[in-house]
Structure 1
Amino acid sequence: MLRLLGHALKKALAIMAVSAAVAGLPILADAVSTAQAATAIKEGTIDLGPVRLFYLDTGGTGETVILMHPATASSDAFRTYQIEPFAKAGYRVVAYDRRNYGKSYYDAASPPPGTTVDDLEAVTRHLGIDRFHIVGTGAGAFVAVDFALSFQDRLRSMSLANSVIDIKDDDYQAMMTRTRPEGFYNMPVEFRELSPSFRAGNPEGLKAWLDNYAASRVTPRGPDQPEKNVRTLKGMEAIKVPTLFISGETDNYAPPPVYQKILEHMPNAELVTIPESGHASYWERPDDYNKAVLGFLAKHH
């Protein structure tokens, strides 16, 4: 009986893999074996003296994808929609809480904190990661670009979603000001971050997003980390890593024209625009987000 059940399970998994291939989803060599059970996620901490960084790691022998969370969430937010499908596509998936977020401990009285790039480098050393794909959402994309400007030989690809990337050029900053008029930051966080369609049509998803937001807050906060590099449009031209930009069509922070400005300096980069999505495409339109990122990764492994 058990043998028959095992045979049926293997057959079902094979059908699932073929169906995914027909649908255009990238399936790496070990995807079927990964799919034999729900993805196991290891939790751990990395001790950096005055800070302990909490991380998630699916393990495995596939290429590594590091997911960088936005300023409104922690790594736990990726459990809902990203970690499982990315792991089942054959990737080792890693995510961690940056200082001042989620389950990472950060002594508010600690000495100068170094940069977010230094912390990312420490995470990769601790986990034995050499080259990897980086996927940054919101403020997580700030770290991804900063890392690319310092260590782009370590990156297989870079996907940047819903992020202004904090480029310092005056004309770029003026464009940012036009998208966020006076009083913008006095509005509720869900109004600033999420599209009207999502807020109106998905009350359960809205509540879960707000719960993730609340859980990611840390008090007291330690000192903010400085940038390793100053990001400019001219400086973006130095990045030769295959790059994907994802924009939400109704993103209050970074609508499509923001990325079109950057593409003038990175003509080989790609842009995907997700309809009816605000500043959190990974949460508001996860199927579209995952399809865009996984499709891009499949071209650059």
Structure 2
Amino acid sequence: MSRSRPALLALGALLACALVLLLPAARRRPPAPGRGAPANSTVRRGTAAGADPAVAYREAAGPRAPGPGRPDVLFLHGQAFTSATWEALGTLALLAGEGHRAVAIDLPGYGDSPPTGTVATQQGRVAFLERILEELGLRRPVLVSPSMSGRFALPFLLLRGDRLAGFVPIAPVGTRDYAVGQYQQVQTPSLILYGDRDTGLGHQALQSLRHLPRHRVVVLPGAGHACYLDKPGDFHRALLGFLGQLQ
């Protein structure tokens, strides 16, 4: 028994080392099927150098399925997220496979985009999105705006709605900053999305956004504020259905 003890101790040490090596790999494991990007998806990263400041973006690469008339889609993000969220969720690859050009950006001060004081005002944020559309060559895209990004998307919608083919607000902030009459003048088709467990900002935003003349509402059951993370399948179906109506 005394002779086997060193061998057992050596075996235990080897197992401990193996666990240490495997744990980081486990933490890097891709999202489970249905939540993350398909195994064969490819997303390229770039920088919109002409914007001020330069803005990082992600876009599904490779040939897209034939889709004449299918609108481009520009994704913004919430405060706790970046453009990487839409890559990990598989959204960029999914839309590219359906014939859409799908681009997600890192807003200034998030992800790989440096901060800038030029977006401190409403006018600055509108000008920022205008430059992004021009720099990335997005012609009348559908603008997807969750949570914090409403500070950028809402003033752009109200002042430059003619530059958009559609608008998808997901419980955006800042909806109370505008009057009912301002919403009523917008003719951009809109899909208002939120989770039924988002009893705060989701319901609050709806009270203002329901005054958009050309809107429909989709409430995702069992989903919270980041409803696209809680129910990605339902979110993708709702988004693709909306995009299909715009063609």
What TM-score results when the alignment is normalised by the length of structure 1? 0.60
Q: Take 2:202 and 2:135, find their aligned partners in 1: how far apart are those partners? A: 36
Query: How many percent of aligned residue pairs carry the same amino acid?
Result: 25
User: Cα gap change, 1:49/1:146 in structure 2, threshold over 3 Å: closer, same or farther?
Assistant: closer
User: Cα gap change, 1:95/1:88 in structure 2, threshold over 3 Å: closer, same or farther?
Assistant: same
CA deviation profile, 1:216-239 (whole Å, cap 9, x unmatched): xxxxxxxxxxxxxxx222211111
Gaps of 5+ in 1: 1-34, 169-230
Q: 2:193 aligns with which of 227, 246, 253?
A: 246
1:165 Cα deviation after fit: 3.7
1:155 Cα deviation after fit: 0.9
Give the greater-gyration-radius structure (CA).
Answer: 2
Q: Take 1:47 and 1:251, find their aligned partners in 2: how far apart are those partners? A: 37
Q: Which runs of 4+ in 1 moved over 6 A?
A: none
Higher relative contact order, chain-length normalized (CA < 8 Å, sep 6+): 1
| Alignment-derived partner of residue 158 in structure 2 | 149
- Say if 2:23 is the partner of 1:77: no
Corresponding letter in the other structure for 1:142: R
Q: Tell me the number of residue pairs that the alignment of Structure 1 and Structure 2 aligns.
A: 201
Q: Take 2:119 and 2:216, find their aligned partners in 1: how far apart are those partners? A: 37
Q: Take 1:291 and 1:154, find their aligned partners in 2: how far apart are those partners? A: 25
CA deviation profile, 1:216-270 (whole Å, cap 9, x unmatched): xxxxxxxxxxxxxxx222211111100110121111432446415532x235311
What TM-score results when the alignment is normalised by the length of structure 2? 0.72
- Say if 2:40 is the partner of 1:38: yes
CA deviation profile, 1:65-98 (whole Å, cap 9, x unmatched): 0011111211111112211212111110011011
Residues 1-301 of structure 1 correspond to what in structure 2 (within 5 A)? 38-47=40-49, 51-58=53-60, 60=64, 63-81=71-89, 82-106=91-115, 115-168=124-177, 231-256=178-203, 258-260=205-207, 262-263=209-210, 265-301=211-247
Corresponding letter in the other structure for 2:139: D
Corresponding letter in the other structure for 1:280: A
| Alignment-derived partner of residue 183 in structure 1 | none
Q: Take 1:272 and 1:46, find their aligned partners in 2: how far apart are those partners? A: 33
The RMSD of aligned alpha carbons is 2.5
Contact 1:135 1:141 in 2 (8 A): no
1:50 Cα deviation after fit: 6.2
Contact 1:137 1:162 in 2 (8 A): yes
Q: Take 1:127 and 1:50, find their aligned partners in 2: how far apart are those partners? A: 13
Q: Take 2:52 and 2:144, find their aligned partners in 1: how far apart are those partners? A: 27
Question: SS at the partner of 1:115?
Answer: helix
Question: SS at the partner of 2:175?
Answer: coil
CA deviation profile, 1:9-28 (whole Å, cap 9, x unmatched): xxxxxxxxxxxxxxxxxxxx
User: Cα gap change, 1:138/1:234 in structure 2, threshold over 3 Å: closer, same or farther?
Assistant: same
Contact 2:171 2:205 in 1 (8 A): no
